[in-house]
Structure 1
Amino acid sequence: MNRNKALSVAVIASVLALSQMPVQAAESLGTVTGSAQGSSGFFGSSPNVNTGETPPSDVQQIQKFKQDTTNAETTITRGQYEMLTPTDSYTQSLQNLPNAVVVSSGDSMDGDDVYINGFSKSLINFTLDGIPLNDNDSYTYYSNEFIPSVLVAGTKYYPGAQSAAIPGLASFGGSIETYSLKPSPYFFLRPMVGGGSFGKYNYGGLVNTGLFLKNIAPTSAWLYVNTNHRDGYFQNNGAIQTQFLFKSVTQIGPGALTLFFTQNNQRFNYYNGATAAQIAQFGNDYNGYTSNPFLANGRPNTFYTGYNYNRYLNWLGYGKYEGEVGKVKFSEQFYYYYGNGYGAGATTFTQTLLTPAGSVQRVAPAANQVLLRNSINNTHRWGNIVKLAYPLGPVDTELGFWFNHNNTTHDAQYFNQANVYLGSTYIEPVVTDTYEPYIVFNYKPVERLKLTAGVKYLYANRDFKNYVALAQGQPGVFNASFHQVLPSVGANYQVMEGINLFANFTQNANPPGYNQFYTGVFNPSLAPQKANTYDLGLVWNRGFWKGELDLFRVDFRNYILSTTVQVGSFNQTVLANAGKAINQGISWQNNFVFNDQLSAYANVGFLDARLKSAGQPFPYAPHHTESVGLIYRDGGFKATVGFNEIGNAYYNLGGKFLPLGSRFYTNASLRYTLNNMPLSSGGFGLKKVSLGVYVNNLFDRTWIQSYSGSNANPNLKLNLPANVYATLDASF
């Protein structure tokens, strides 16, 4: 689809389509709203934002800073999320953070790779409504699985480990705590549609029940259904995604019961990239996949797009009861996650398979055919988070306990082209149990000084089986356990009204991934990776100018690297605690609210991130980042423009560091909301209509996102060119 046609389609879609309810005077939910904020007594409280409103301060600024914090903390507001399209992964909101890089492998709809202070997303702790989301076996995380940007109340970002009170693992690069919107006390129905460049569109809606069962158990709930679709700018890179989410809050006794469910069902094709010569010959939208299943010589084409795609279904549900009895605040949250999906591919090579008969055999494809592969990942995960906060004399005390049970089976299945199952190259169930109790004390010896001290204990046990090895008479049953005591201390001092200093030290650790069992030789003495995080910062509120300056250093110890050892007369590869790394720098964030109409933000970061043991830089660790933006509001109009620059960085391909170069891009949005529609008075009528137009990469800049293939002849994966998306939604 050419760009002029795409823009026409976007505008037409927005005109034909049907955002938010107007902010109304608060109606009592009994004590539902108050109890829903019960977590405000705990570290990492959720933003108090309902589906029917966006706080005025969130419209004026994209980020907020906590004045009395004993650690660096940024809240990303609804104002930032309103600058994203419905098809974007919510992690696009992180791109304005200092020293942060958000990379889409073709399109954010497929999920984003996130790098903060040089650490990849497998070394960043992600949570949703307090629930840790990283896989407990490999710490991977897929940002498009759990919640769309339109349902995010806000996100709290803590660089580094920061506090013993944050549940989860892999927080070397920080914690990204995202919270879903709360139900509104008012009924509304909001259909939504949108369309834009490259055949992308969405349709769906949100319904909020309003308050019901007022005299029995006051309850309010919302329900969201949406479908995202794209043809794909790059050849054969189409995708479709269906989302379903539900949330309710019910007042029961001294607390509130929150029920939540999210489901994501998605299929997307791979984009393989192209060599520089192919781009020169065929243009930027060319990639190595083709629609021809066979080559000219009759051999199967293993890049045939019909065999190269991902398909995944996942859902997450939780029940949380929280409230307050006297001076004691409590929270009990049980959750369950299920994920089942696979990456589909094909090969012309002979495979060693564990067959359904239980034997291990070499299996080759028939002449002029391929073996089809489904790399299955089936996960069951459940856990519980308990919190208790109470005053102990002059000391505020918080106790907590997180337990997580993770059961994942990795199965690489092979089929012939008649779809008959032939066997698997590996079948590996992994069971990991994680226990994490913590205690935190907050004390104010004088009015201007706040002190925090805490400790977390980490214990994890992992069982691993390799059925292919067992069928061959080789060792295939392994177990490992890990434990670590992790302290945290912090202080905040008010220098004068509106200016505070803070300092923090926190230790973090996470056990090795399950790949310690199949990389060369099992190393039973492999220890958890550990890091010490140091922060020294300044937070200020000078009226129109608010900001935070943070100097940080992460000393990474016990970094796990592949190391060659001699076993008998042979060299083997083994994972070992062989590495040390340094991630240090400056983070400077600023908000400016000039008047009711005009506000701005300016964030700058400087970073030094390197693996000391190997003398190598961290991938996607730019020396500097800058983001500057303006927000203008006039009546129903809201316009934003943001400029981002990311310095030089590198990509690791097969142990070789290839340059990514610097990048500069501009995103803009324009939104018009018409309130108090003629049909809004009384009953079920049209109350509000909102039209939005979003332009990404406004000046059509091109840069290298990543590489694929071999480091001798790498393929280039490029960013999306300038693209536009328009939305129109209404509230009844």
Structure 2
Amino acid sequence: MNKFTLLCATTALIVPGMAMAQSTGSIEVEEEIVVTGARDTNGVEGVIIPDSSKARTVLTQDIIARQTPGQTILDTINLVPGVSFQNNDPYGSAGGTLTIRGFSSDRISLTWDGFPLNDTGNYAIYSNQQFDPELIGQVNVNLGTTDVDSPTASAVGGTVNYVTRLPREELGAMLSASYGDYGYHRVFGVIDTGELTSFGTRAFFSASTARNDLPFNDIGRVYKQQYNARIYQPIGTNGDFISIAGHYNQNRNNFFGSVPLRTDTTGGRVVGPNSTNRFPITKDERFYTIGRCTIDTPQAGVSDVANSCGSTFDERYNPSNTGNARFNSRFSLTDQLIVTVDAAYQYTLANGGGTVVANEAVPTTGNLRGLVGYGSVPTTGTDLNGDGDIRDTVRLLAPSNTNTNRYLAITNLIYDINDDHRIRLSYTFDRGRHRQTGEIGFLEVGGNPEHFFGGLNTPILDANGAVVQKRDRLSYATLHQVAAEYRGKFLEDALTVNIGLRAPFFKRDLDQRCFATNASGGVFCTAESQAEVVANNPTYVAPREVTFKYDKLLPNVGFTYALTPEASLFANYAKGISVPSTDNLYNSLFFAPGTEGAQPSPETTDSFDLGVRYTNRLVQAQLAGWYTKFNNRLASSFDPELNETVYRNLGKVTKWGVDASVGVEPVKNLMLYAFGSYLHSEIEDDIAIGQQTINGQLVSYVAATAGNRESGAPKYTFGGRIQGSFGPLELGAQVKRTGKRYVYDTNLPVLAVVNGQTVEIYGAAAPAYTSVDANARFSLADMGLENTYFQLNVTNLFDVLSVGGFGGGLNQNITRNAAGVITGYGNAPNVQIGAPRAVSATLVIGF
């Protein structure tokens, strides 16, 4: 057995499940470098800096377990430099906003045991659907680039990978119960079987439920349940294994806390989710009331108006059912040849829509006269409220249902040429069936949906017998990827070089079953004939199927150089690609084939990292500078009131920054950790936004973005954590300062026209804010209860009022008169209110 294989086997025995990368193949290669580099891998109280050519940080259960039980893992990684996460609620079950080095979540690869969790359509990350934190062995954050075998269509801004812990070798169980502010109640339990056979087979099974009231309004609720299992079979003594795992998660929660970013009180404006509301000025104003709705009892022969119940943003539901089955394995074919095989199946059913006012009567005027279907509003030609006529307007649920079935496979062949040189070949297959529909459904009198997914299983039919829905499309996202990597050691093992090449081949098969009405994604879904629709709408584009293909060679090279056994230099270069999302591609179907806009270009990046690190059993420190150059930089922003996503192309964008962290254990049972980041971005060009003819002359308008920072990302972040043990008592606290974030790429304030005058209703940027969390744990081991303890957590200790998550936007829309004079501005963008202080207490009992 040669040195490479021997050391990998040693790693498997000493630190089982300690993955420093994504797939089993990447884990194999990265663990070898950590060990042969003679670095300490235990870290400092939960913080590990791997000796990689990329800027990476690993957080283990030592830190994860000190956070609020049930908290999303994406909130925990807020302790990593370069990461910024704004949680929508204190407990992690209602979503949030993630950026890494200014890259939004749809440009970050989130993986679990090596398998991607990003949405197959728009690449979004859903923080409230993540794995129970008690079962996460560690989370690894790659700040700059992807790994050479990363199965991603969009990640150009880093990766987050968390790994399931192994089942215990001894029979055991753990039960925890948490209670906290806002009616928080969570129960988690796990049973480890211990070794079931003489071959070492072992497993665990877990379940959890969590519920709480949403903190700001008086109506919202969160309910979450999750189930997990893993069976692990070691093979031999050299690290080979087979693992099978399963997961199911169900969320039922309202939207909440998204309010217009304006603080003017003109006309008695108060805090709330509607465009006529505003952002809170004081902490007390965060807690607002949703007004009582109005009900119009249906009457035959009368043109009844729609109820208002269910119309506000906070009354909408955001349900999701997600599940997966995961297979990981490693086999030593010879002393020099290893094969890893990973496979997974993922299922998603989710809905993020709102409500709509439907017309029973068929229109007799306008461009849709005589037609039934769903354009800007649904028209059914049927009696919807049961009063015997078709004269009414009726409020209905208008879901945006997405049902995904995804199949993945990643295999690596790893060959040790000799003790100092290794090659790896990898193949990845990823295929997702992405079905997007919008079957309208009935609401109860109070505004709650009769079914969370609307008419998905019980559709409402129009006068032609067709399903009434706001969208109807099917896509297949297919990735075939081959990759190769060489790793070699030189200069008496001081220099480690890795040279990789990734070759992804992406294909998007789109089937748009509705008429495209504009270039922004508007559609008219109907069973009426094409001739009838186009007769009065010659610009509409008929339903059609289109295939898009993208491919590119993506080099990934780097090195580490050991200055001393503890200190090393590292550098890395990687080229990345981000393929346009399905929404962007569906929007392009409005354009005729061969014309501008019909073939969206992918975003490409060139990213560089250069840094130094120092690691031993007392210190884990890293300093990294980075630079990224974009071509065809794409971005999007979401308008929650319109329930639409707007895309923008920023052309070329340059980003650079510095990330640093240091963890120290100066004395036993005391950990000090500090981190910080600085981010600079620069948009190179102004962006064309429209044209107008004034006195016979064509005038063009641009958004003045050249030289500006990108919106939505903090200029800097810094913070730290302290943790100490005093006998059975353990105390910890962590603090983070998040810098200002521009609202628009124009870096201009939010404006409005009031009484004919332009006034500023919010500044150009959301101000910086500081958040402090604290935790305490009291062990009952001295009472004979070795694995039992009481834990107290406080988030946002000083109850700071802050602007929470938002994606940023290109510019504020402007209305002009015929002379080109500005007469109005678009609505202020909606942002989340930062989560308030919350205290929770947890009793953990271990057997």
- Corresponding residue for residue 483 of structure 1: 551
- Letter matched to residue 500 of structure 1: S
- Corresponding residue for residue 431 of structure 2: 405
- Letter matched to residue 258 of structure 1: S
Select 2:578's aligned residue among 510, 515, 526: 510
2:74 is paired with a residue of what secondary structure?
Answer: helix
- Corresponding residue for residue 421 of structure 1: 460
My pick for the range that moved more, 698-707 or 129-138, is: 698-707
CA distance in 2: counterparts of 1:39 and 1:624, whole angstroms? 29
- Corresponding residue for residue 456 of structure 1: 502
CA distance in 2: counterparts of 1:110 and 1:387, whole angstroms? 37
Change (3 A) 1:453 1:305: closer
8 A Cα contact 2:372 2:379, kept in partner: no
1:632-683 deviation per Cα after TM superposition (whole angstroms, max 9, x unaligned): 01233221111111111123599977521100111110012222654xxxxx
1:573-631 deviation per Cα after TM superposition (whole angstroms, max 9, x unaligned): 99897611122100011011111121100101111024333424333322211112211
1:317 is paired with a residue of what secondary structure?
Answer: strand
- Corresponding residue for residue 611 of structure 1: 683
CA distance in 1: counterparts of 2:394 and 2:650, whole angstroms? 44
- Corresponding residue for residue 199 of structure 1: 183
- Corresponding residue for residue 98 of structure 1: 81
CA distance in 2: counterparts of 1:618 and 1:176, whole angstroms? 22
My pick for the range that moved more, 595-604 or 58-67, is: 58-67
2:804 maps to 1:712: no
8 A Cα contact 2:148 2:501, kept in partner: yes
- Corresponding residue for residue 138 of structure 1: 122
Change (3 A) 1:465 1:706: same
Change (3 A) 1:668 1:131: same
CA distance in 2: counterparts of 1:294 and 1:88, whole angstroms? 39
1:265 is paired with a residue of what secondary structure?
Answer: strand
- Corresponding residue for residue 600 of structure 2: 526
8 A Cα contact 1:330 1:388, kept in partner: yes
8 A Cα contact 1:61 1:600, kept in partner: no
8 A Cα contact 2:576 2:605, kept in partner: yes
1:106-147 deviation per Cα after TM superposition (whole angstroms, max 9, x unaligned): 452123321111111110011101111112221112123231
- Letter matched to residue 76 of structure 2: S
1:622 is paired with a residue of what secondary structure?
Answer: coil
Q: CA deviation at 1:329?
A: 2.0
8 A Cα contact 2:352 2:399, kept in partner: yes
Q: CA deviation at 1:560?
A: 3.2
Aligned 1:382-393 pairs, distance under 5 A: 382-393=407-418
Q: CA deviation at 1:703?
A: 0.8
Select 1:190's aligned residue among 159, 174, 182: 174
8 A Cα contact 2:149 2:428, kept in partner: no
Change (3 A) 1:714 1:387: closer
- Letter matched to residue 293 of structure 2: N
- Corresponding residue for residue 264 of structure 1: 249
- Letter matched to residue 571 of structure 2: A
Q: CA deviation at 1:230?
A: 0.1
- Corresponding residue for residue 659 of structure 1: 765
1:521-562 deviation per Cα after TM superposition (whole angstroms, max 9, x unaligned): 344433321101101100113663330000001111122369
CA distance in 1: counterparts of 2:42 and 2:789, whole angstroms? 18
Q: CA deviation at 1:303?
A: 2.6
- Letter matched to residue 385 of structure 1: I
Higher relative contact order (CA 8 A, sep 6+): 1
Q: CA deviation at 1:706?
A: 4.5
Greater share of strand: 1
CA distance in 1: counterparts of 2:137 and 2:585, whole angstroms? 40
1:350-384 deviation per Cα after TM superposition (whole angstroms, max 9, x unaligned): 5999xxxx974651676463122122110000110
- Corresponding residue for residue 435 of structure 1: 480
- Letter matched to residue 649 of structure 1: R
- Corresponding residue for residue 447 of structure 2: none
Change (3 A) 1:561 1:342: closer
- Corresponding residue for residue 842 of structure 2: 727
1:167 is paired with a residue of what secondary structure?
Answer: coil
1:54-97 deviation per Cα after TM superposition (whole angstroms, max 9, x unaligned): xx986943421123x22212111222202211231111111122
8 A Cα contact 2:41 2:50, kept in partner: no
2:208 maps to 1:219: no
RMSD over equivalenced CA pairs, Å: 3.5
Aligned 1:117-156 pairs, distance under 5 A: 117-156=101-140
2:127 is paired with a residue of what secondary structure?
Answer: coil
2:76 is paired with a residue of what secondary structure?
Answer: helix
CA distance in 1: counterparts of 2:806 and 2:54, whole angstroms? 36
My pick for the range that moved more, 279-288 or 587-596, is: 279-288
Change (3 A) 1:260 1:559: same
- Letter matched to residue 630 of structure 1: I
Select 1:373's aligned residue among 373, 398, 418: 398
8 A Cα contact 1:639 1:671, kept in partner: yes
With the length of structure 1 as denominator, give the TM-score of the two structures. 0.85
CA distance in 2: counterparts of 1:37 and 1:198, whole angstroms? 36
CA distance in 1: counterparts of 2:221 and 2:18, whole angstroms? 43
- Letter matched to residue 70 of structure 1: S
Change (3 A) 1:295 1:586: farther
Percent of pairs with identical residues: 19
CA distance in 1: counterparts of 2:746 and 2:359, whole angstroms? 24
- Corresponding residue for residue 631 of structure 1: 723
Aligned 1:47-62 pairs, distance under 5 A: 60-62=44-46
2:62 maps to 1:79: yes
8 A Cα contact 1:667 1:696, kept in partner: yes
2:601 is paired with a residue of what secondary structure?
Answer: coil
CA distance in 2: counterparts of 1:223 and 1:291, whole angstroms? 45
My pick for the range that moved more, 508-517 or 30-39, is: 30-39
1:233 is paired with a residue of what secondary structure?
Answer: coil
2:631 maps to 1:585: no
8 A Cα contact 1:35 1:322, kept in partner: no
Select 1:553's aligned residue among 624, 627, 642: 627
Change (3 A) 1:527 1:392: farther
Change (3 A) 1:191 1:320: same
Q: Which structure has the greater CA radius of gyration?
A: 2
Q: CA deviation at 1:250?
A: 1.3
Select 1:337's aligned residue among 336, 346, 353: 346
2:106 is paired with a residue of what secondary structure?
Answer: helix
Change (3 A) 1:557 1:109: same
Change (3 A) 1:661 1:295: farther
CA distance in 2: counterparts of 1:621 and 1:162, whole angstroms? 20
CA distance in 2: counterparts of 1:589 and 1:431, whole angstroms? 41
Q: Which runs of 5+ in 1 are unaligned?
A: 1-28, 49-55, 563-572, 679-685
